[in-house]
Chains A and B, each alone.
Chain A
Amino acid sequence: MSITIALAGNPNSGKTTLFNALTGSTQYVGNWPGVTVEKKEGRYRKQKEVVITDLPGIYSLSPYTLEEVVARNYLLKEKPDAILNIVDATNLERNLYLTTQCMELGIPVVIALNMMDIIEKNGDNINVKSLSDQLGVPIIEISALKGKGIDQVAQAAIDAAKSKKAPVPPKFSSEVENILASIRPVLGNIPADKERWYEIKVFERDEKIGEQISYDKEAAEKIIAAAEAAMDDDSESIITNERYDFITEILSGGYVKKNAGSMTISDRIDRVVTNRFLAIPIFLLVMWVVYFLAINTIGTMGTDWVNDVLFGEIVPGAVGGFLESIGTADWLSGLILDGIVAGVGAVLGFLPQMIVLFICLAFLEGCGYMARIAFIMDRIFRRFGLSGKSFIPMMVGTGCGVPGVMASRTIENERDRRMTIMTTTFIPCGAKLPIIGLIAGALFGNSALIGWSAYVVGIAAIVISGIILKKTKMFAGDPAPFVMELPAYHIPTFSSVFHSVWERASSFVKKAGTVILLATILVWFMSSFGFYEGTFQMLPEEDFMEHSVLAALGNLVAWIFVPLGWGSWKPAVAAVTGLIAKENVVGTFGILYKYGEVSEMGEEIWGNLQAEMTALAGYSFLVFNLLCAPCFAAIGAIKREMNSAKWTWFAIGYQCGFAYLASMCIYQIGSAVTGNMNVIGLIVSLVVLVGTLYMLFKPYKEATTLRTSAAKI
């Protein structure tokens, strides 16, 4: 017989560490049905028939956040055999608050009292026996970090599951108990073991409960209104107060802090780290170290080696030699070498950089500094619908957008995370620098202003997008309370860092890798096949690119870019090849202007470019390439992090649309100023500009309820 155990607990309670310790390498990461919240499952190492489901880290079972609704719906609908509730012993009151709610679901509960090693070290004392008796729930002392008590707590949960004995829900004051009893008759037919849950939820006017049971709403509302008047508080507050009063009551006398009131080590660290004057310099220093490790040194060195040596020489050499030795047809070896091997290289090439970055992030998250980053930077970023934690993805994005997008994983709030994913690649990454160099060199006399303005354009795009998008239907829906815990500092363990890095890196390879590989093969096909001398064939050399399918496609779509000032096929094709990697834009110009290989900034073709487009058109081309859809690798990363096809397409579509309109406004308004006015173009651009300004200054109201229907989850 299989047993399902749900692991529930607060964020930062050591839940992930316990889950890893319980399940080892048997984890399966998926999604909760219908939503993009991650769902982790695994089997207990020592008894494979026991399935452990890791619920999202939550503080409560309220109806307001997606994580909470996902967790409570799972507990209600999937009916796990037991709840293993992990409780942080160093933060008992708030952790037990969730426990009081878990005990109302008619499911056996076992408490894993975590961080007992810290309690002992501090000389604090918790009367576990008395606490367990008063709650009526078994409590096992554990230290997830040190691997102590893991098997005992698993066994206790299995025993509880087999006993099928649900705890008696916490008792509130007699006044509230009477009210809840009077609510029972209006509920009608509900399962007996869930009575308490529904009584309370109906009393709280829980907005998701009407989707799950039908009851006499009018009669309930009368009772609730009368109770609120009598107790001079709203029903939600009444219940919350009762829960905390219950916890204070059962803890009184049973929990003694040896050094109550004095500063802990964590407090002392925070006195420096989030100090009014030192916080920002320290923050910048930490960011510099992350950037230095991941982008400037180790990470990029590894990535360069994989790209230039491993997948630049060793693998293609070996595979090419092998293919030649067995006499493979040209098209097939082309497919394997330039399509598949190059595609796999494109995926794996990012890994070294990403692993270094993920190690840094896992460390910052694990030690507790990431929460401080949100605390320090919140004021700036929240105006743009972003999180203080969005700083890291954007900073990393100046080096490479792929790890930048992947770094958005540290943002818990879904709305902030999506906004960050959509806007991170607006920042010019390293691969866009050659394009900047080409345009600045060919059309602006190498002016440093162009490079500087590229960053201004990128930041402006983020700010404008943030302010506008948060007012749109896609984003305005769900509330995002920023009431955040600052967990105590501690040194993360090797295994927790390793797990986090492994999970993120492997999910990049698996989920982003497929997109990148397929796209690389597709573009290889389009650029190396075409009509030449009357037949559709594989083109003999790169120099024949103008006959390729890609060039034909460029010709077909070039008119789209006429309002942007560069509506001829060569720049259009160059922009398309930029999707493989942005630095390809320069190389493609080189091939199309018949120079073959050109230097990084394409000095050889500056003259051709001057003949092709005006300086204004060149700048419009630059802005378009900076802001439009990023390379396939970054698109793959966006798809991985959005975890939804709809949101991926929305992100790509938005970026391309934004890039198009921005370039058009620059070109059309610029043309009008310099005396080449196109009336229609100017009018359209001015309309876009006014529309943008309207959206920028339109008032914004924060949502207070969760849109996602509980019935759909």
Chain B
Amino acid sequence: MRTLKDVHVGETVKVVKLHGTGAVKRRIMDMGITRGAEIYVRKVAPLGDPVEVNVRGYELTVRRADAEMVEIAE
């Protein structure tokens, strides 16, 4: 299973499903990372974490550990 954590900077990917439960997963979905959404990975923070992505036309930051919940198309 490929997740958002594995995506390289500059890639655009499509969300397949969200895993996990609870507050963080719900927040990720509330922010627009839902099934079928396109995500462009813009950059990694200077210290290597978190990552900045573009989703639904705005910029969002997600920690790598949380990005692992987001399954993406191969």
B43 contacts chain A at the CB level, 8 A cutoff = yes
Give B18's nearest chain A residue, CB to CB: A237
Are B49 and A64 neighbours in the complex by a CB distance under 8 Å?
no
Residues on the B chain within 8 Å of A97, using CB: 30, 32
Smallest CB–CB gap between B39 and chain A, Å? 13
Are B57 and A483 neighbours in the complex by a CB distance under 8 Å?
no
Residues on the B chain within 8 Å of A377, using CB: 47
Chain B residues 24-74 with CB under 8 Å of chain A are 24-32, 34-37, 43-50, 52, 56-63, 66
Given contacts A62-B26, A483-B27, contact A93 B56 (CB under 8 A): yes
Are A270 and B59 neighbours in the complex by a CB distance under 8 Å?
yes
Q: Which of these, A233, A277, A280, A705, contacts B22 with CB under 8 Å?
A: A705
Are A483 and B24 neighbours in the complex by a CB distance under 8 Å?
yes
Are B60 and A483 neighbours in the complex by a CB distance under 8 Å?
yes
Are B35 and A483 neighbours in the complex by a CB distance under 8 Å?
no
Residues on the B chain within 8 Å of A276, using CB: 43-44, 46
Are B57 and A91 neighbours in the complex by a CB distance under 8 Å?
yes
Given contacts A237-B34, A704-B21, contact A93 B66 (CB under 8 A): no
A304 contacts chain B at the CB level, 8 A cutoff = no
Residues on the A chain within 8 Å of B28, using CB: 481, 483
Are B23 and A375 neighbours in the complex by a CB distance under 8 Å?
no
Are B58 and A485 neighbours in the complex by a CB distance under 8 Å?
yes
Smallest CB–CB gap between B55 and chain A, Å? 8
Residues on the B chain within 8 Å of A280, using CB: 46
Are A94 and B31 neighbours in the complex by a CB distance under 8 Å?
yes
Give B24's nearest chain A residue, CB to CB: A481
Smallest CB–CB gap between A13 and chain B, Å? 11
Given contacts A64-B22, A233-B35, A704-B22, contact A379 B48 (CB under 8 A): yes
Q: Mark A510-554, 1 if CB is under 8 A from B, else 0.
A: 000000000000000000000000000000000000000000000
B14 contacts chain A at the CB level, 8 A cutoff = no
Residues on the A chain within 8 Å of B45, using CB: 274, 279, 375-376, 378-379
Chain A residues 276-317 with CB under 8 Å of chain B are 276-277, 279-280
Are B27 and A277 neighbours in the complex by a CB distance under 8 Å?
no
B17 contacts chain A at the CB level, 8 A cutoff = yes
Are A94 and B58 neighbours in the complex by a CB distance under 8 Å?
yes
Give B44's nearest chain A residue, CB to CB: A276
A359 contacts chain B at the CB level, 8 A cutoff = no
Are A481 and B47 neighbours in the complex by a CB distance under 8 Å?
no
Residues on the A chain within 8 Å of B57, using CB: 90-93, 257
Number of A-B contacts (CB under 8 A): 136
A276 to B30, CA, bound (A): 28
Are B26 and A233 neighbours in the complex by a CB distance under 8 Å?
no
Are B59 and A485 neighbours in the complex by a CB distance under 8 Å?
yes
Chain A residues 235-290 with CB under 8 Å of chain B are 236-237, 240-241, 244-245, 257, 270, 274-277, 279-280
Smallest CB–CB gap between B25 and chain A, Å? 8
Are B61 and A486 neighbours in the complex by a CB distance under 8 Å?
yes
Interface SS of chain B: mixed
Give B20's nearest chain A residue, CB to CB: A704
Residues on the B chain within 8 Å of A486, using CB: 52, 58-61
Are A274 and B52 neighbours in the complex by a CB distance under 8 Å?
yes
Smallest CB–CB gap between B29 and chain A, Å? 4
Are B26 and A485 neighbours in the complex by a CB distance under 8 Å?
no
Smallest CB–CB gap between B66 and chain A, Å? 6
Chain A CB within 10 Å — which of B22, B30, B32, B56 has the most? B30
Smallest CB–CB gap between B16 and chain A, Å? 11
A74 contacts chain B at the CB level, 8 A cutoff = no
A257 to B21, CA, bound (A): 35
A380 contacts chain B at the CB level, 8 A cutoff = yes
Q: Which of these, B18, B22, B27, B56, contacts A94 with CB under 8 Å?
A: B56
Q: Mark B6-24, 1 if CB is under 8 A from A, else 0.
A: 0000000000011001111
Are A240 and B59 neighbours in the complex by a CB distance under 8 Å?
no
Are A482 and B32 neighbours in the complex by a CB distance under 8 Å?
no
A168 contacts chain B at the CB level, 8 A cutoff = no
Are A244 and B23 neighbours in the complex by a CB distance under 8 Å?
no
Q: Which of these, B26, B35, B58, B59, contacts A64 with CB under 8 Å?
A: B26
A706 contacts chain B at the CB level, 8 A cutoff = yes
Q: Which of these, A274, A379, A481, A487, contacts B23 with CB under 8 Å?
A: A481
A484 contacts chain B at the CB level, 8 A cutoff = yes
A59 contacts chain B at the CB level, 8 A cutoff = yes
A376 to B26, CA, bound (A): 24
Are A240 and B22 neighbours in the complex by a CB distance under 8 Å?
no
A479 contacts chain B at the CB level, 8 A cutoff = yes
Are A378 and B22 neighbours in the complex by a CB distance under 8 Å?
no
Residues on the B chain within 8 Å of A703, using CB: 23
A465 contacts chain B at the CB level, 8 A cutoff = no
Are B22 and A483 neighbours in the complex by a CB distance under 8 Å?
no
Are B21 and A64 neighbours in the complex by a CB distance under 8 Å?
no
A198 to B55, CA, bound (A): 29
Residues on the A chain within 8 Å of B30, using CB: 59-60, 62, 97, 240
Residues on the B chain within 8 Å of A257, using CB: 57
Give A485's nearest chain B residue, CB to CB: B60
Smallest CB–CB gap between A548 and chain B, Å? 53
Residues on the A chain within 8 Å of B62, using CB: 482-483
Residues on the B chain within 8 Å of A706, using CB: 23
Q: Mark A347-387, 1 if CB is under 8 A from B, else 0.
A: 00000000000000000000000000011111110100000
Q: Mark A693-713, 1 if CB is under 8 A from B, else 0.
A: 000000000111110000000
Residues on the B chain within 8 Å of A233, using CB: 17, 35
Given contacts A62-B26, A93-B56, A376-B45, contact A485 B35 (CB under 8 A): no
Are A479 and B22 neighbours in the complex by a CB distance under 8 Å?
yes
Residues on the A chain within 8 Å of B17, using CB: 233, 237
A506 to B69, CA, bound (A): 44
Can you list 16 A-B pairs, Cβ within 8 angstroms, ordered by A?
A: A93-B57, A234-B21, A241-B35, A244-B56, A375-B50, A375-B52, A378-B49, A378-B50, A378-B61, A481-B66, A482-B66, A483-B28, A485-B31, A485-B60, A487-B59, A704-B22
Taking A378-B47, A704-B23 as known contacts, 18 extra A-B pairs with beta carbons closer than 8 A to each other, sorted by chain A number, are: A59-B27, A60-B26, A65-B23, A93-B32, A94-B58, A233-B35, A236-B26, A237-B18, A237-B29, A375-B52, A481-B66, A483-B24, A483-B28, A483-B63, A484-B61, A485-B61, A488-B59, A704-B22
Q: Which 5 residue pairs across A and B have the least CB separation, nearest first?
A: A704-B22, A479-B23, A64-B23, A60-B30, A481-B27
